[in-house]
Amino acid sequence: MFERRTTKQISVGKVLVGGGAPITVQSMTTTKTADVEGTLQQIYALAAAGCDIVRCTCNEQEAAEGLAQIVPRSPIPIIADIHHQYKMALAAMEAGVHGLRLNPGNIRKPDHIKAVASEARDRNLAIRIGVNGGSLDPALYEKYGGLTAAAMVESAMQEIAYFHEVDFNLIKISVKASNVPLMVEAYRMLADTTDIPLHLGVTEAGPPPAGLIKATAGISTLLLEGIGDTIRYSLTADPVEEARAGRQLLEALGLRERKNVDLIACPSCGRAEIDVIDVANRAMKAFEDKKLPLQIAVMGCVVNGPGEAREADLGIAAGNKRGHLFVKGRNVAVVPEREMVEALVEWAEFINEHGTDAAIARADTALAEREAARDRSQLMDEKGDDANHSAEKIVEIRKTINN
Instruction: Check whether residue 144 and residue 268 sit in a common domain.
Output: no
Instruction: Check whether residue 115 and residue 16 sit in a common domain.
Output: yes
In a domain, 348, yes or no: yes
Q: Which value, to the nearest 10 degrees, does the dihedral of the CA atoms of residues 114, 115, 118, 124 take?
A: -110
In a domain, 72, yes or no: yes
Which of 43-52, 162-171, 198-207, 279-288 is the least confident region? 279-288
In a domain, 394, yes or no: no
Instruction: Check whether residue 224 and residue 279 sit in a common domain.
Output: no
Are 339 and 283 in contact by the 8 Å Cβ rule? The answer is: no
Number of structural domains (the chain) is: 2
Instruction: Check whether residue 280 and residue 369 sit in a common domain.
Output: yes
Burial class (CB in 10 A: 0-12, 13-18, 19+), 133: buried
The pLDDT assigned to 92 comes to: 98
% of the chain surpassing 70 pLDDT: 93
Pairing of strands 322-327, 330-336: antiparallel
pLDDT tens by residue, 278-301: 888 999 999 988 889 999 999 887
The pLDDT assigned to 311 comes to: 85
In which domain, by residue range, is 29 found?
Answer: 10-252
The pLDDT assigned to 137 comes to: 87
Question: Angle between the 180-193 and 210-223 helix axes, to the nearest 10 degrees?
Answer: 20
The chain-wide mean pLDDT, for the chain, equals 91
Look at residue 368 and tell me whether its pLDDT is greater than 90: no
Are 276 and 266 in contact by the 8 Å Cβ rule? The answer is: yes
Question: Which of 181, 222, 180, 217 lies closest to 200 in space, CA to CA?
Answer: 222
The pLDDT assigned to 389 comes to: 57
Instruction: Check whether residue 41 and residue 163 sit in a common domain.
Output: yes
Are 348 and 261 in contact by the 8 Å Cβ rule? The answer is: yes
pTM listed for this prediction: 0.86
Residue 265's φ and ψ, nearest 5 degrees, are -150, 145
d(Cα 173, Cα 104) in Å, to the nearest integer? 11
pLDDT tens by residue, 251-274: 999 999 988 899 988 887 766 667
pLDDT tens by residue, 369-401: 787 777 667 766 655 555 455 667 777 787 788
Question: Which of 26, 32, 28 lies closest to 62 in space, CA to CA?
Answer: 32
Instruction: Check whether residue 240 and residue 346 sit in a common domain.
Output: no
Look at residue 306 and tell me whether its pLDDT is greater than 70: no
In a domain, 297, yes or no: yes
Instruction: Check whether residue 227 and residue 340 sit in a common domain.
Output: no
Residue 115's φ and ψ, nearest 5 degrees, are -65, -40
Which of 91-95, 191-195, 359-363 is the least confident region? 359-363
Q: What residues form DSSP beta bridges with 174? A: 130
Instruction: Check whether residue 126 and residue 35 sit in a common domain.
Output: yes
| CA distance to 11, 24, 174, 182, per residue, from 230 (Å) | 12, 5, 10, 19
Instruction: Check whether residue 58 and residue 194 sit in a common domain.
Output: yes
The domain that holds 289 is classified in CATH as: 3.30.413.10
Look at residue 303 and tell me whether its pLDDT is greater than 80: no
Instruction: Check whether residue 179 and residue 237 sit in a common domain.
Output: yes
The pLDDT assigned to 272 comes to: 67
Look at residue 161 and tell me whether its pLDDT is greater than 80: yes
In a domain, 238, yes or no: yes
Average pLDDT over residues 197-224: 97
